[in-house]
């Protein structure tokens, strides 16, 4: 396992990078995904909701991340919508309007599935408050099991999706040599009044509200595993004292996708870097080409704040 501060890179990467350079590896098409940095104002300052992924997870095992996951094809179905138009969202995310809706729906759906927080309401000016009842939990569980489409869930409860409560923050794509690839949009959202996060994610073994500086200190000490997108999005929150300040800064954010690059050296080493994020640049020595690990199919579990 190749180490980096506060985390570790997959042991398969060096061999897969060399195989890709020789034309022996075909990159997988990234799966569209969305993840949400839920914010709230604590007495100590701005805090963000984070999950620690189970050690047995196929992707980002043991890493701290945010609620989120892959786009479900059913996220493209029409839903009650409040906030900016799909054309506006498409322009903001750099994708066609239909895909923009699917990404935003995935962000709201996955946040509900993984944290019990729902960014929706009966109309464009309100948000549901107490959603801790057994009937809400039954619907949340049905969404997780893919037995219920998010569009049907909203329609059955006469709710509209509050897209105006989300603010685009970043976009990261897992590298071409990764076995599981995601094209992930990161959003900010404030915890709605009357709602609270719940430890309901079956993919996490810990949840916590952490100040960005507190989480980054844990990463810097090597006590908290995080992938580069998580570290970078946390660092971007450091200048802001309140959730409102962070949301106000979102419209000026650069959403150009970030993806790792690998350059082979003459000695067989690999220089791995993320353009614009020099703190993650490192050398992967590696013992030589070796066998090429077989590519994995797109997993049923979705990314949680990394690719991300």
Higher-confidence position of 7 and 112: 112
**CATH architecture designation of domain 26-254:** Alpha-Beta Complex (3.90)
Mean pLDDT of 135-155: 96
For all residues of the chain together, what is the average pLDDT? 87
Whole-model pTM: value is: 0.88
Which residue's structure tokens are 């990078």?
17
Give the domain ranges of the chain.
26-254
Given a cut of 60, is residue 101 above it in pLDDT? yes
Given a cut of 60, is residue 201 above it in pLDDT? yes
User: What's the token pair of residue 274?
Assistant: 């993320």
Strands 160-162, 81-82: pairing kind: parallel
Q: For 234-262, how does the pLDDT look when each residue is reduced to its tens digit (9 = 90+)?
A: 999 999 999 999 999 999 899 999 999 99
How sure is the predictor about 202, in pLDDT bands with cuts at 50, 70 and 90? low
Phi, psi values for residue 168, rounded to 5°:
-60, 140
Given a cut of 80, is residue 230 above it in pLDDT? yes
Given a cut of 70, is residue 286 above it in pLDDT? no
| pLDDT of 2 | 42
| pLDDT of 130 | 85
Mean pLDDT of 276-300: 63
Higher-confidence position of 216 and 198: 216
Phi, psi values for residue 179, rounded to 5°:
-75, -25
**3-class DSSP assignment, residue 229:** helix
How sure is the predictor about 292, in pLDDT bands with cuts at 50, 70 and 90? very low
Question: From CA 136, how far away is CA 128, in angstroms rounded?
Answer: 11
Q: For 18-73, how does the pLDDT look when each residue is reduced to its tens digit (9 = 90+)?
A: 889 888 999 999 999 999 999 999 999 999 999 986 544 444 457 899 999 999 99
| pLDDT of 80 | 96
Given a cut of 50, is residue 181 above it in pLDDT? yes
Higher-confidence position of 282 and 242: 242
| pLDDT of 283 | 83
| pLDDT of 296 | 45
Question: From CA 251, how far away is CA 225, in angstroms rounded?
Answer: 29
With a pLDDT cut of 90, the percent of the chain lying above it is 68
Q: Cα torsion for 263, 290, 59, 235, to the nearest 10°?
A: -30
């Amino acid at each position: 396992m190749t180490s980096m501060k506060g985390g570790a890179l997959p042991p398969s990467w060096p061999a897969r990078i060399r195989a890709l350079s020789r034309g022996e590896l075909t990159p997988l098409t990234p799966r569209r995904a969305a993840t949400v940095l839920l914010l709230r104002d604590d007495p100590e300052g701005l805090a963000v909701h984070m999950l620690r992924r189970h050690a047995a997870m196929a992707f980002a095992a043991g890493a701290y991340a945010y609620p989120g996951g892959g786009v479900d094809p059913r996220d493209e179905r029409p839903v009650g919508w409040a906030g900016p138009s799909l054309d506006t969202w498409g322009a903001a995310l750099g994708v066609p309007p239909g895909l923009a809706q699917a990404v935003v729906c995935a962000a709201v759906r996955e946040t509900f599935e993984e944290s019990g927080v729902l960014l929706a309401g009966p109309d464009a000016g309100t948000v549901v408050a107490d959603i801790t009842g057994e009937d809400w939990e039954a619907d949340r569980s049905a969404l997780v099991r893919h037995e219920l489409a998010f569009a049907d869930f909203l329609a059955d409860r006469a709710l509209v999706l509050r897209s105006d409560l989300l603010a685009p923050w970043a976009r990261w794509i897992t590298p071409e040599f990764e076995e599981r690839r995601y094209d992930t949009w990161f959003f900010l959202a404030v915890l709605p009044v009357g709602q609270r996060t719940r430890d309901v994610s079956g993919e996490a073994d810990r949840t916590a509200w952490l100040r960005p500086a507190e989480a980054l200190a844990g990463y810097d000490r090597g006590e908290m595993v995080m992938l580069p997108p998580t570290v970078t999005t946390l660092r971007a929150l450091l200048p802001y004292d309140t959730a409102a300040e962070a949301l106000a800064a979102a419209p000026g954010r650069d959403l150009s996708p970030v993806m790792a690059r690998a350059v082979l050296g003459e000695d067989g080493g690999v220089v791995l870097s993320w353009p614009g994020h020099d703190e993650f640049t490192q050398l992967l020595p590696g013992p030589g080409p070796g066998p090429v690990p077989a590519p994995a199919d797109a997993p049923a579990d979705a990314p949680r704040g990394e690719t991300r």
